[in-house]
């Protein structure tokens, strides 16, 4: 048969398997950063393209802005943006060196007197932000913002003067919690999983796990979610599950749950993949753009959690 020079016809059948379906969703909806992150985690993509894509969100003060954390819009650096940037750098093995020094310089400039980070710096005023992250003039330092940053810097073996004060704050906050809510607990786990004093971290995590079960902050039976309260200010049915606290089997939070409870949680996570290939955003949605951007991030996190526990996704 003569060669007509026509381009091959692409396949019309939908992709099969969780990973292939998620990949199509990412290519259809994700930002360039999440496209490169997906390629890095699941398609042998390099770290360089991820790092270059992340640079678009970087500011001269060493922090990150420009909507990197989708619920905060505008160009100004924010602790939550910078925490997201550190997660990305950690994921590709680049959380260190001069870049980490610049980040610590920014964190020093916005921290409170006790070395902690506010969730939202007042510089956000005038730019769109989710209604559940109000901007105030003199925000307090919070474990919610500080724990993940400090944990990732310790994981990257970064040493900086700011980190000593911030670490002390995280210890005091994590060890004194009497009542909490899921996102604050997750922030505490992010710190404790990487804190240098492992014996102290294990003791604090054991106490925190008892608090989680006492307050019913983890939905242990996905088939009976009405039995678990949703924290004040959260969206309806914004439950958190064992896999949200223990994102890998190596997390200290894994000891909080039985094998059966974790298996149910992972079954629920796998079943949450939607028809378009992505995972849903469970927190309150306030604008179409941020919600769509967040879904690709949630999708990548879901796949990584399932793989970490040996669940088939490919």
CATH node for 18-308? 1.50.10
Q: What is the DSSP string of 236-254?
A: TT----HHHH-SSTTSGGG
Residue 56 to residues 33, 152, 166, Cα–Cα distance (Å): 9, 21, 27
Q: How far apart are CA 107 and CA 182, in angstroms?
A: 24
Assign 94 to helix, strand or coil. coil
From 300, 290, 226, 222, select the one nearest 260 (Cα to Cα). Answer: 222
Give the per-residue pLDDT at 10.
Answer: 55
Cα 79–Cα 83–Cα 87 angle in degrees, nearest 5: 170
From 98, 135, 144, 86, select the one nearest 117 (Cα to Cα). Answer: 144
Q: How far apart are CA 50 and CA 34, in angstroms?
A: 8
Task: Tell me the per-residue pLDDT of 256-281, one tens digit each, with 9 for 90 and over.
Answer: 999 999 999 999 999 999 999 999 99
**Contact in structure between 297 and 31 (CB atoms under 8 Å):** no
Assign 203 to helix, strand or coil. helix
Structure tokens at 312: 């088939």
The radius of gyration of the chain from alpha carbons, rounded to an integer in Å, stands at: 20
Task: Tell me the per-residue pLDDT of 141-190, one tens digit each, with 9 for 90 and over.
Answer: 999 999 999 999 999 999 999 999 999 999 999 999 999 999 999 999 99
**Contact in structure between 269 and 263 (CB atoms under 8 Å):** no
Q: How far apart are CA 225 and CA 254, in angstroms?
A: 21
Task: Tell me the per-residue pLDDT of 89-140, one tens digit each, with 9 for 90 and over.
Answer: 999 999 988 889 999 999 999 999 999 999 999 999 999 999 998 999 999 9
Sequence-distant (6+) residues with CB within 8 A of 267 are: 222
Q: How far apart are CA 8 and CA 310, in angstroms?
A: 37
- Domain ranges for the chain: 18-308
- The pTM of this model reads 0.93
Taking residue 75's Cβ as centre, other Cβ atoms within 10 Å add up to 11
Give the per-residue pLDDT at 1.
Answer: 45
The mean of the pLDDT values for the chain is 95
Phi/psi of residue 72, nearest 5 degrees = -120, 115
Assign 158 to helix, strand or coil. coil
């Amino acid at each position: 048969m003569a060669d007509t020079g026509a381009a091959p016809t692409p396949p019309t059948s939908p992709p099969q398997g969780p990973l292939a379906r998620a990949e199509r969703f990412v290519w259809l909806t994700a930002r360039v950063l999440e496209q490169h992150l997906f390629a890095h985690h699941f398609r042998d993509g390099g770290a360089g393209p991820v790092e270059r894509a992340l640079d678009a969100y970087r500011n001269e003060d060493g922090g990150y802005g420009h909507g990197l954390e989708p619920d905060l819009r505008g160009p100004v650096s924010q602790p939550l943006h910078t925490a997201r940037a550190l997660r990305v750098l950690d994921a590709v093995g680049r959380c260190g060196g001069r870049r980490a020094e610049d980040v610590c310089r920014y964190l020093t400039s916005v921290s409170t007197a006790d070395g902690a980070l506010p969730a939202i710096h007042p510089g956000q005023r005038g730019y769109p932000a989710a209604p559940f992250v109000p901007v105030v003039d003199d925000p307090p330092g919070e474990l919610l913002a500080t724990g993940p940053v400090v944990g990732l810097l310790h994981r990257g073996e970064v040493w900086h003067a700011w980190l000593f004060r911030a670490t002390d704050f995280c210890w005091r906050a994590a060890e004194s919690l009497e009542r909490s809510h899921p996102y604050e607990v997750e922030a505490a786990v992010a710190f404790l999983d990487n804190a240098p004093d492992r014996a102290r971290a294990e003791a604090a995590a054991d106490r925190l796990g008892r608090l989680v079960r006492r307050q019913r902050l983890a939905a242990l039976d996905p088939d009976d979610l009405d039995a678990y309260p949703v924290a004040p200010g959260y969206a309806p049915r914004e439950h958190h599950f064992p896999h949200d606290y223990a994102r890998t089997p190596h997390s200290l939070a894994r000891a909080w749950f039985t094998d059966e409870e974790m298996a149910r949680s992972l079954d629920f996570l796998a079943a949450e993949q939607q028809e378009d290939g992505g995972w849903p955003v469970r927190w309150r949605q306030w604008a179409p753009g941020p919600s769509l951007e967040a879904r690709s991030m949630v999708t990548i996190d879901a796949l990584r959690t399932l793989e970490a526990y040996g669940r088939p996704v490919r």
